[in-house]
Amino acid sequence: MKRRGKQFSLPIELVAEFHSGVIRLLVMWWIQHFEENVTAEQMDEYYYLLVNENIMSE
């Protein structure tokens, strides 16, 4: 995206660290809650909600 001329308001390295941290956290949570039978599709939805929704205002 950066090579295509996309401008970012934050350093792209920071954005990458943020998303990789969220993904790591979700994988750890998924492993720890294995007995709850959460699907990969549900984890994908959780990721989307965490990074795209304003969950703190609910």
Mean pLDDT of 39-57: 83
In this predicted model, what pLDDT tens digit does every residue of 5-24 receive, in sequence order? 877 788 888 888 998 999 99
Return the SS3 of 50: helix
Q: In the structure, what pLDDT confidence band is assigned to residue 38 with cuts at 50, 70 and 90?
A: very high
- Tell me the percentage of the chain whose pLDDT exceeds 90: 48
Cα-Cα-Cα-Cα dihedral of 32, 34, 37, 42, to 10°? 50
